[in-house]
Structure 1
Amino acid sequence: MTLSTPAPGGSPVRQAGGGTAAPLPARVLRHGAYEALGMLRNGEQLVLAIVLPLLALTALVLTPVLDAYGPDRIDVAAPGVLALCTMSTAFTGQGIATGFDRRYGVLRFLSTTPLGRSGLILGKAVAVAVVLAVQLVVIGGAAVLMGWTPEPAGILPAALLLLLGSAAFTALGLLVAGTLRPEATLAVTNLVWILLAAAGGVIIPAASLPAAAEPFVSVLPSAALGDGLRAALVDGVFDPIACLVLLAWAALASLAAIRWFKWS
């Protein structure tokens, strides 16, 4: 059966063989579910998405690393680890998966189906959101069992920050995966994840870093997400600057990915 060019919007796609493809939203949701299941079934990605954040949370609670940044270790650690989860899924996990899909021709093939290029990208965003939701339940639940009590007034601002952070890091992951070789993507995404986790304002607040580094770190998406989540979930306040920084990164990385992404 020959496939037709995807129709704009959400209208069904007429196939050359007489069939009709599902509307775009349904195609996107199905592909997103497929990718999410693939990520959750992959042992390496499961370690990155669940095991490492749980280990980081446990280590931060049991050691005095965060004693200088708040009255309770868990209250400071939990928002930072949730930001770490966003980075691991949206940037590292999605970047690596997309890079190898590109090498093996999966992206080129799927872009010619009724899913189309826009549907493929939207499906990946849906997959990131699904995996992130699983991470929030698991990591957030573990933090609550450790004594975490997030500020109720900060739940909605935190949700907004997580959405913007997911968009920014997904766009950055796609940019790397669409411009570098898979091996380089694997190295770059893992190295950047380690650097941002250690000194990018994710766990340690940007304001607590050396004065010479603080202005540069504070404009990173990692610092915006980490500091914004701490402001929301610890103090119950909305950080508009963090939202603007994440929005700017999401927009710039998306434009760059659209401009330079190579499908094969």
Structure 2
Amino acid sequence: MTTTTHAGAAPTWRRVLAQTDFEARAILRNGEQLLVTIIVPVLVLIGLTQVDVLDIDTDGMSAIDFFTPGVLALAVMTSSFTSQAIASAFDRRNGVLRLLSTTPLGRGGLLIGKIAGVLVVGTVQVLVIGLTAVLLGWRPDALGVLLAIVAMLLGAAAFTSLALLVAGTLRAEAVLAVANLALLLLALGGGVIVPADRLPGPLEHLALLLPSGALGEAMRQAFQHGSLPAWSVVVLVGWTAALGWGAARLFRWH
């Protein structure tokens, strides 16, 4: 048996770390990506909490306490799904993914770097949005923050899997349209910002089965009640497994 070696190649962890840095910087330096991942969620938070645009019963909570968990969930979706799907699709079209997959980084290292890059961007998002919410009067408790971190990691896993499935099977131009449209539809009727039980008709039940609704509910329960609903965890893990399997089977590198 022969073992493939790469003379002069950096250790695996260093290669993955370099790719992570590249992925995060590529998103944060891109004006359009920055708009989608950070500026839009911040504007949504300010709009929902400072302007009475939605006639929704907040269960006696202040607007900032009611809407902040959903906006943070929306932020997770923008970085792990919309941004990652578009970036990966155009990298695939331009041959970047195929080229990187043949380097010492390898396909596994490339995917790990992409996922880690999403987590880095997500951390920046949470810090910016969280600080904005605190300035607007939000005061989360420590337990809620810890449980919300778990929910965000589960949500990031599900939506990154969806991003890779879409980016690896559709043309880049189609991904651009699908990713943005899906984000808009899920934000409005997927139980992210507006809780599922406030949605009309069958959307109330459908939203809880979607990764968006499960993430939104998990974030609200974590921050507002200090708990993590088991059903949301099951839904997010289930979607991650199904979408991850689909991405592994169907992803095309060129």
TM-score w.r.t. length of structure 2:
0.95
Partner of 2:38: 50
Residues in 2 aligned to 1:59 and 1:155: alpha-carbon distance in whole angstroms: 23
2:71 equivalent to 1:81: yes
**Distance apart, 1:150 and its partner CA:** 1.3
Residues in 2 aligned to 1:212 and 1:159: alpha-carbon distance in whole angstroms: 30
The gaps in structure 2 that reach 5 residues or longer are: none
Runs of 4+ in structure 1 displaced over 3 angstroms? none
**Distance apart, 1:59 and its partner CA:** 0.6
2:11 equivalent to 1:23: yes
Among 122, 127, 138, which residue is 2:112 paired with?
A: 122
2:124 equivalent to 1:131: no
**Distance apart, 1:215 and its partner CA:** 1.6
Partner of 1:68: 57
Among 207, 231, 236, which residue is 2:221 paired with?
A: 231
TM-score w.r.t. length of structure 1:
0.92
SS, match of residue 21 in structure 1: coil
Letter in 1 for 2:218: G
Among 244, 249, 252, which residue is 2:239 paired with?
A: 249
Residues in 2 aligned to 1:175 and 1:219: alpha-carbon distance in whole angstroms: 19
Count of residues in Structure 1 that have an aligned counterpart in Structure 2: 251
**Distance apart, 1:67 and its partner CA:** 4.4
Residues in 1 aligned to 2:89 and 2:79: alpha-carbon distance in whole angstroms: 14
**Distance apart, 1:162 and its partner CA:** 0.4
**Distance apart, 1:66 and its partner CA:** 6.1
- 5 Å-filtered alignment, 1:135-174, equals 135-174=125-164
SS, match of residue 36 in structure 1: helix
**Distance apart, 1:23 and its partner CA:** 2.5
The alignment's C-alpha RMSD in Å is: 1.4
The gaps in structure 1 that reach 5 residues or longer are: 8-12
2:24 equivalent to 1:36: yes
Give per-residue Cα distances to partners, 1:21-52, cap 9 Å, x unaligned. Answer: 22222211110111101110000000011110
